[in-house]
Amino acid sequence: MAGQNQGRGSRSNNLVVPQATAALQQLKFEAAQELGVQIPQDGYYGNYTSRETGSLGGYITKRLVQLAEQQLSGRSNL
């Protein structure tokens, strides 16, 4: 059943294309740099505000949509 692990502490954001991990990490670091948000070395975001993590996630999503639109229109600028 879809979404069955929600709310149980397990991660449900598995990558559809695991080979994209490095590219997504690079995108996250670029977005954080542009927004002035420090990426925690240990990966723990508990000391960050919702505004900081939300702005980072929103920026990454916006950038991913832009990349997809470029790819769909045939003018890939990756």
User: Can you give the pLDDT at residue 62?
Assistant: 94
- The answer to whether the CB of 74 falls within 8 A of the CB of 49 is no
Helix (H) or strand (E) holding 62: helix 50-72
User: Can you give the pLDDT at residue 70?
Assistant: 92
Give the number of other CB atoms < 10 A from CB of residue 30: 13
User: Can you give the pLDDT at residue 7?
Assistant: 46
Q: Which residues of the chain have pLDDT under 70?
A: 1-12, 75-78
Q: How far apart are the C-alpha atoms of 43 and 45, rounded to whole Å? A: 6
Q: How far apart are the C-alpha atoms of 35 and 20, rounded to whole Å? A: 22
